[in-house]
């Protein structure tokens, strides 16, 4: 039900209006930062589409056969596609295409949700384009993406775009409290880290994530005087633990904060608990263009890793550049 989605009242009303008017638009693209509620909204929307008794307000009833099957993850007409590794592969799209050729089992149409559709490989994206254009009489299709630039323009132009805003402090607090049972003291201490989105993977492994974040920031602060062999050891350890992409996210949040602090940019700080050491660090003495180049380099490393680049080499190149600047 849409009641499961905390906040986002404006977006709820848009989707409820679609349900109430029985609009036949079939392709939706949910756009927003990771962790801003796209998947929760997509699942609630799909459940309401399937519901045999959804109310005039667009809410699913939660008690009909369709709702109960959806809640158990057993609805025969719901298809979820998401990356199995770095990308969504063409074989996954071919499997999807075969499924939607058959008639729905329980409902009048199928609902397809492609999560992280911006990770469609080029071959998979091209194969999916015809389905996205022509499957409206057989199914509703919802794509979720974090950034528009990674989705084929031909796909992007063929969907109704729904933009998800950054969560407010109040929404973040409510989500952490209601969905993850955090105590208020813990929320007050760490809420700022989730300004760019609620990351379920961080929360479910909070102790591990928190320790990694502290380790990465300590290496950044100590980099000018540190032995680079220790950095290489850490990079290898992160790769072995499959933490490289998470390290890159932490690095990007750090240098984003540098821009906010050092260059009078408006915005919130992600690493508020490290505000004083950050302001006093050498990073705040580096000019804007170098920081901007670092962020571009990190983004390129992230994309390269998604497409199976060597994780060690990607981070080593980044830290060599960081060492040069320090």
Higher pLDDT, 247 or 148: 247
Which residue has better confidence, 91 or 199? 91
- Tokens 């036949």 — which residue? 24
Q: What percent of the chain clears pLDDT 70, i.e. is strictly above it?
A: 91
Domains of the chain plus CATH, in order, are 2-163 (3.40.50.300), 205-325 (1.20.272)
State phi, psi for 211 to the nearest 5 degrees: -65, -40
pLDDT at residue 51, as a whole number: 87
Residue 144 has which token pair? 């979720």
Q: Looking at the predicted structure, is the pLDDT value of residue 7 above 60?
A: yes
Give the model's confidence band at 144: pLDDT under 50 very low, under 70 low, under 90 confident, else very high.
very high
If you average pLDDT over residues 185-200, what whole number do you get? 83
What pLDDT is recorded for position 24? 57
Nearest residue to 125 (alpha-carbon basis) of 87, 98, 152, 95:
152
Chain-centre distance of CA 17, in angstroms? 26
Q: How confident is the model at residue 42 (pLDDT cuts 50, 70, 90)?
A: very high
For the chain, percent of residues with pLDDT exceeding 90: 22
Q: How many Å separate Cα 171 from the centre of its chain?
A: 17
How far apart, in whole angstroms, are the C-alpha atoms of residue 306 and residue 303?
A: 5
pLDDT at 171: 85
pLDDT at res. 136: 64
CA separation for the pair 59, 220 (Å, rounded):
49
Give the model's confidence band at 220: pLDDT under 50 very low, under 70 low, under 90 confident, else very high.
very high
Flag whether pLDDT at 18 surpasses 90.
no
pLDDT at 152 over 80: yes
The yes-or-no verdict on residue 260 having pLDDT over 90 is no
Token pair in block for residue 7? 């906040």
pLDDT at 135 over 80: no
The mean pLDDT of the chain is 85
As a whole number, mean pLDDT of residues 24-48 equals 86
Single pTM value for the model:
0.76
């Amino acid at each position: 039900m849409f009641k499961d989605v905390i906040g986002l009242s404006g977006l709820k009303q848009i989707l409820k209006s679609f349900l109430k008017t029985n609009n036949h638009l079939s392709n939706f693209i949910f756009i927003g930062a990771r962790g801003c509620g796209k998947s929760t909204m997509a699942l609630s929307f799909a459940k309401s589409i399937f519901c045999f008794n959804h109310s005039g307000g667009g809410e699913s009833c939660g008690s009909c056969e369709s709702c109960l099957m959806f809640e158990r993850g057993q609805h025969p007409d719901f298809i979820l596609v998401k990356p199995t590794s770095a990308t969504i592969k063409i074989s996954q799209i071919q499997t999807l295409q075969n499924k939607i050729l058959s008639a729905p089992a329980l409902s009048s149409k199928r609902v397809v949700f492609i999560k992280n559709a911006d990770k469609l490989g080029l071959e998979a994206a091209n194969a999916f384009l015809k389905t996205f254009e022509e499957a409206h009489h057989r199914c509703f299709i919802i794509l979720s993406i974090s950034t528009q630039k990674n989705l084929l323009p031909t796909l992007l132009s063929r969907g109704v775009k729904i933009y998800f805003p950054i969560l407010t402090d109040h929404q973040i607090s409510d989500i952490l409290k209601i969905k993850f049972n955090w105590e208020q003291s813990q929320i007050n201490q760490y809420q700022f880290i989730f300004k760019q989105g609620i990351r379920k993977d961080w929360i479910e492994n909070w102790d591990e994530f928190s320790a990694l974040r502290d380790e990465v920031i300590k290496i950044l602060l100590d980099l000018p005087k540190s032995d680079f062999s220790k950095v290489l050891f850490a990079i290898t350890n992160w790769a072995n633990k499959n933490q490289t992409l998470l390290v890159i996210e932490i690095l990007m949040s750090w240098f984003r904060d540098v821009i906010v602090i050092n260059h009078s940019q408006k915005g919130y700080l992600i690493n508020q608990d490290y505000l004083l050491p950050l302001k006093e660090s050498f990073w705040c003495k580096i000019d804007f263009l170098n920081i901007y180049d670092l962020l571009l380099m990190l983004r390129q490393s992230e994309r390269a890793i998604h497409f199976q680049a060597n994780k060690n080499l990607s981070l080593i190149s980044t830290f060599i550049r960081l060492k040069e600047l320090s």
